Amino acid sequence: MEPTHSKTIGYILWIFGFTGAHRFYFGKPISGVIWLCTGGLLGIGWIIDLFLIPGMERKAELRYKTGPIDYTVAWILQTFLGYLGIHRMYMGKWITGLLYLCTGGLFIIGWAYDYCTLNTQISELNAEKGE
b/e map 1-13, b = 16+ CB within 10 Å:
eeebbbbebbbeb
Specify whether the CB–CB gap between 46 and 18 falls below 8 A: yes
Q: What is the mean pLDDT of residues 112-124?
A: 96
Q: What is the per-residue pLDDT for 74?
A: 96
Q: What is the per-residue pLDDT for 1?
A: 64
Per-residue pLDDT band for 19 (boundaries 50, 70, 90) equals confident
What φ, ψ does residue 22 adopt, rounded to 5°?
-65, -35
Q: What is the per-residue pLDDT for 130?
A: 75
User: Of 124, 113, 8, nearest to 64 (Cα)?
Assistant: 124
* E strand map for the chain: none
The CA distance from 85 to 101, in Å, is: 5
Distance (Å) of CA 10 to CA 28, 50, 125: 12, 10, 22
For the chain, the average pLDDT equals: 93
What residue segments make up the domains of the chain, in order of their start?
7-63, 71-130
Could you give the percent of the chain with pLDDT greater than 70?
A: 98
The amino acid at 40? G
Full-model pTM: 0.88
The CA distance from 32 to 3, in Å, is: 22
